[in-house]
């Protein structure tokens, strides 16, 4: 039996959680020229993702099954037989926390069962943000969070700022013609600007080119990765998007996952690149 992608209404996980349970399972169905991954519950199939490549759809399905297993896992009981506080299951983003934090906030990492929970401690309250598998990953995440907090709450040295501004009086800055940057636009689109052929290897005059796109909510930075990068994993390949001749990338799922609408109209400049040019990081 084949599945026509056009006959489905596609869903996100938040829509399905209220109506599914631990009996639900993730499937990949063969469609007309594509493969559709989704959740089956009580005999009904809820489509969530489609790809022309089975491997890509299967990677998505595997990650979604992990999410369901974690969501419906049995409640962990501590040594005194008291259930873990329900607040520990609520995770936060850096954008949610910054308005309520101050310069005393500090990152933390702790072990829960077989994973590491990383977050921010502020005035005696713990705000979990990420789960990672190893101590090394926990240390790296803590370091990234610490840099974000230091940048956000760094005191402004008014004397230094005035001195630097005075030194720059009379100078005019002309943007580099080849500087590559991206802007966040409406309708789930990112637009690329500048010399993207030289810096990113993207030639929009030819057929649509596929790139791997990622976002780091802690650093508030985008990464564009060429599929030829030796660092690419199967999970990364599932994050492939096409660059149109208009230099825009439509990425609705990425927008929903990280609420990128909040950055609408903002510009992210090419800041760091690998020696091979296969990985480019864009920051504000």
Calculate mean pLDDT across residues 41-65. 85
User: Has residue 167 been placed in a domain?
Assistant: no
User: Has residue 174 been placed in a domain?
Assistant: no
d(CA 101, CA 120): 9
Greater model confidence, 123 or 68: 123
Q: For residue 267, what pLDDT is reported?
A: 93
Q: For residue 282, what pLDDT is reported?
A: 93
- Number of independent structural domains in the chain: 3
d(CA 198, CA 86): 51
Contact (CB, 8 A) for 238 and 55: no
Q: Are residues 146 and 185 in the same domain?
A: no
Taking residue 8's Cβ as centre, other Cβ atoms within 10 Å add up to 17
Q: Are residues 57 and 119 in the same domain?
A: no
Q: Are residues 208 and 243 in the same domain?
A: yes
Greater model confidence, 198 or 39: 39
Q: Are residues 195 and 245 in the same domain?
A: yes
134-164 pLDDT, tens digit per residue, is 888 888 889 999 888 888 888 767 887 788 8
Q: Are residues 230 and 269 in the same domain?
A: yes
| Residue that terminates a domain, selected from 109, 137, 153 | 153
Calculate mean pLDDT across residues 265-277. 88
Contact (CB, 8 A) for 194 and 178: yes
Q: Are residues 266 and 221 in the same domain?
A: yes
pLDDT, the chain, mean: 82
Calculate mean pLDDT across residues 198-219. 83
Asked whether the predicted pLDDT for residue 72 surpasses 80, the reply is no
Sheet holding 35-41, edge to edge: 25-30, 35-41, 44-51
Asked whether the predicted pLDDT for residue 79 surpasses 50, the reply is no
User: Has residue 159 been placed in a domain?
Assistant: no
d(CA 283, CA 272): 9
Q: Are residues 64 and 91 in the same domain?
A: no
222-254 pLDDT, tens digit per residue, is 999 988 888 888 888 888 888 888 888 988 889
User: Has residue 23 been placed in a domain?
Assistant: yes
* Highest mean pLDDT out of 129-133, 164-168, 266-270: 266-270
d(CA 242, CA 140): 31
User: Has residue 252 been placed in a domain?
Assistant: yes
> Cα Rg for the chain, rounded, in angstroms?
22
DSSP characters for the chain?
Answer: --B-GGGPPP--HHHHTTT--TT-EEEEEEBSSSEEEEEEETTEEEEEEEESSHHHHHHHHHHHHHHHHHHTPPPPB-TTSPBPPGGGG----HHHHGGG--TT-EEEEEEETTEEEEEEEETTEEEEEEEESSHHHHHHHHHHHHHHHHHHHPPP-HHHHHHHHHHTTT------TT--EEEEETTTEEEEES-HHHHH---TTSS-EEEEEEEETTTTEEEEE-TT-TT--HHHHTTEEEEPTTSEEE-HHHHHHHTGGGGTT-EEEEEEE-TTSSEEEEE-
Asked whether the predicted pLDDT for residue 9 surpasses 50, the reply is yes
Asked whether the predicted pLDDT for residue 11 surpasses 90, the reply is no
83-133 pLDDT, tens digit per residue, is 444 444 578 888 788 888 888 899 998 887 778 889 999 988 888 988 888
Q: Are residues 266 and 231 in the same domain?
A: yes
Q: Are residues 128 and 39 in the same domain?
A: no
Q: Which two tokens stand for residue 82?
A: 């008291």
Q: Are residues 14 and 49 in the same domain?
A: yes
Q: For residue 207, what pLDDT is reported?
A: 65
User: Has residue 231 been placed in a domain?
Assistant: yes
Q: Which two tokens stand for residue 250?
A: 């439509």
d(CA 40, CA 45): 4
User: Has residue 193 been placed in a domain?
Assistant: yes
Contact (CB, 8 A) for 240 and 225: no
Q: For residue 177, what pLDDT is reported?
A: 66
Determine the structural domain holding residue 25 and report its residue range: 5-71
Asked whether the predicted pLDDT for residue 3 surpasses 60, the reply is no
Asked whether the predicted pLDDT for residue 190 surpasses 90, the reply is yes
Q: For residue 89, what pLDDT is reported?
A: 55
Q: Are residues 60 and 94 in the same domain?
A: no
Taking residue 86's Cβ as centre, other Cβ atoms within 10 Å add up to 8
Asked whether the predicted pLDDT for residue 37 surpasses 60, the reply is yes
User: Has residue 96 been placed in a domain?
Assistant: yes
Q: For residue 12, what pLDDT is reported?
A: 83
Q: Are residues 206 and 279 in the same domain?
A: yes
Q: For residue 78, what pLDDT is reported?
A: 45
d(CA 156, CA 135): 34
Greater model confidence, 116 or 13: 116
Q: For residue 213, what pLDDT is reported?
A: 92
């Amino acid at each position: 039996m084949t599945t026509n992608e056009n006959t489905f209404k596609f869903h996100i996980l938040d829509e399905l959680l209220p109506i599914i349970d631990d009996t639900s399972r993730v499937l990949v169905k063969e469609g007309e020229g594509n493969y559709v991954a989704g959740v089956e519950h009580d005999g009904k199939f809820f489509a969530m993702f489609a790809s022309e490549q089975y491997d890509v759809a299967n990677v998505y399905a595997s990650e979604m099954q992990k999410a369901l297993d974690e969501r419906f896992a049995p409640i962990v009981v501590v040594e005194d037989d008291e259930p873990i506080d329900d607040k520990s299951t609520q995770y936060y983003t850096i954008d949610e926390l910054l308005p309520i934090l101050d310069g005393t906030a500090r990152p933390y990492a702790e072990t829960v069962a077989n994973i590491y929970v990383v977050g921010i401690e502020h005035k005696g309250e713990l705000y979990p943000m990420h789960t990672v598998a190893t101590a090394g990953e926990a240390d790296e995440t803590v370091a990234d969070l610490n840099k974000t907090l230091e940048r956000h709450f760094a005191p402004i040295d008014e004397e230094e700022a005035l001195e630097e501004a005075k030194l720059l009086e009379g100078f005019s800055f002309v943007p580099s013609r080849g500087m590559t940057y991206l802007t966040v636009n409406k309708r789930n689109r990112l637009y690329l600007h500048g010399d993207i052929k030289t810096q990113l290897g993207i030639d929009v005059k030819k057929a649509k080119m596929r790139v791997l796109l990622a976002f780091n909510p802690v650093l508030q930075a985008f990464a564009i990765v060429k599929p030829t990068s030796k660092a690419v994993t199967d999970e990364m390949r599932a994050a492939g998007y096409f660059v149109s001749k208009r230099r825009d990338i439509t990425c609705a799922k990425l927008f929903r996952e990280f609420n990128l609408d909040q950055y609408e109209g903002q510009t992210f400049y090419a800041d760091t690149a690998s020696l091979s040019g296969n990985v480019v990081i864009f920051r504000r």
